[in-house]
Chain A
Amino acid sequence: MSLFSVLSVSASGMAAQRTRATLLAENLANAETTRTPEGGPYRRKDAVFISEPAAPFGEVFQSALGAGGTGVRVAEIIEDPREPEKRYQPGHPDADADGYVAFPRINPAEDMVDLMGAARGYQANVAAITAVKDMIHRSIELLR
């Protein structure tokens, strides 16, 4: 029985949530960015998760055990397809001929709510690791 492989399942959840939190923080930081290497204003990014077998090591155990435990990973990072927001600022260096500047369409409330969700998800995974660690500890106690 592999209680240890449960740790890698929860760790994959933590890594995925951390990636998501990074992207959300990036969105907030770039809420007013009008220039990017690709050209044009910054576009809001978000992570899409997909479930997958935990680890190569865990898979061996799984096939021996039959009970599937699936981890998670970031499948892709999507960019917001919405059009940038036009604001009338004729004095801005990135203003177009009509005096409008294209700003990223970022709603700070949206990102803050998602950021809270990511933090809670991370905490839930940490709680799972703590519970499993306690179980492993109990198993080791049997030897004493």
Chain B
Amino acid sequence: MLDPVANSLERYLDVLSARQRLMASNIANADTPGYKTQDLDFQAEFRSLVRGASPHPVEVTGLQVRNDGNNVSLDREARLLAENALRFNLASSLLRTEIRTVRSAIKEGRSG
């Protein structure tokens, strides 16, 4: 869009959105028999998305499976939900300053 930094930020926001969607799915399916927790490999997704690929959800291993075959941990999902929202806030603030820089450059050029 603007420059490499803004481009990376945009991808970062994309990965965060995709991940937030999976967190919402996990929470919605917290009582669905047989449902397995899904997540993204964040670092790998970010790197591959910068090159223009689309995200691939994977099943999370190492979680306790309940009697009905469901392994959603609401604590884990709530933590990641909050973490994603905070990261998104941070990245969008950074992107905003990037946009503001470009905007001020345009304004200065106009007045000169």
Binding site for B on A (CB under 8 A): 1-3, 5-6, 9-10, 12-13, 16-17, 20, 48-51, 54, 65-72, 117-118, 120-121, 124-125, 127-129, 131-132, 134-135, 138-139, 141-142
Main secondary structure of the interface of B (DSSP, over half): helix
- Closest 9 A/B residue pairs (Cβ): A13-B28, A66-B54, A69-B21, A49-B32, A138-B92, A67-B18, A67-B55, A131-B85, A9-B24
In the complex, number of A-B residue pairs with CB atoms less than 8 Å apart? 127
Kindly report which residue of chain A lies nearest to residue B92, judged by CB atoms.
A138
| Whole-angstrom CA separation of A66 from B15 in the bound complex | 12
Contact call B28/A67, Cβ cutoff below 8 A: no
Contact call A117/B31, Cβ cutoff below 8 A: yes
Kindly report which residue of chain B lies nearest to residue A70, judged by CB atoms.
B25
Instruction: Give the Cβ gap from A59 to chain B, nearest Cβ, in Å.
Output: 13
Main secondary structure of the interface of A (DSSP, over half): helix
| Whole-angstrom CA separation of A17 from B32 in the bound complex | 11
User: Which of B24, B31, B54, B96 counts the most chain A CB atoms within 10 A?
Assistant: B24
| Whole-angstrom CA separation of A125 from B96 in the bound complex | 29
Check if B50 is an interface residue, CB within 8 A of chain A: no
| Whole-angstrom CA separation of A20 from B33 in the bound complex | 14
Q: A128-B81, A138-B92 are in contact. Are A72 and B18 (CB under 8 A)?
A: no
Contact call A9/B57, Cβ cutoff below 8 A: no
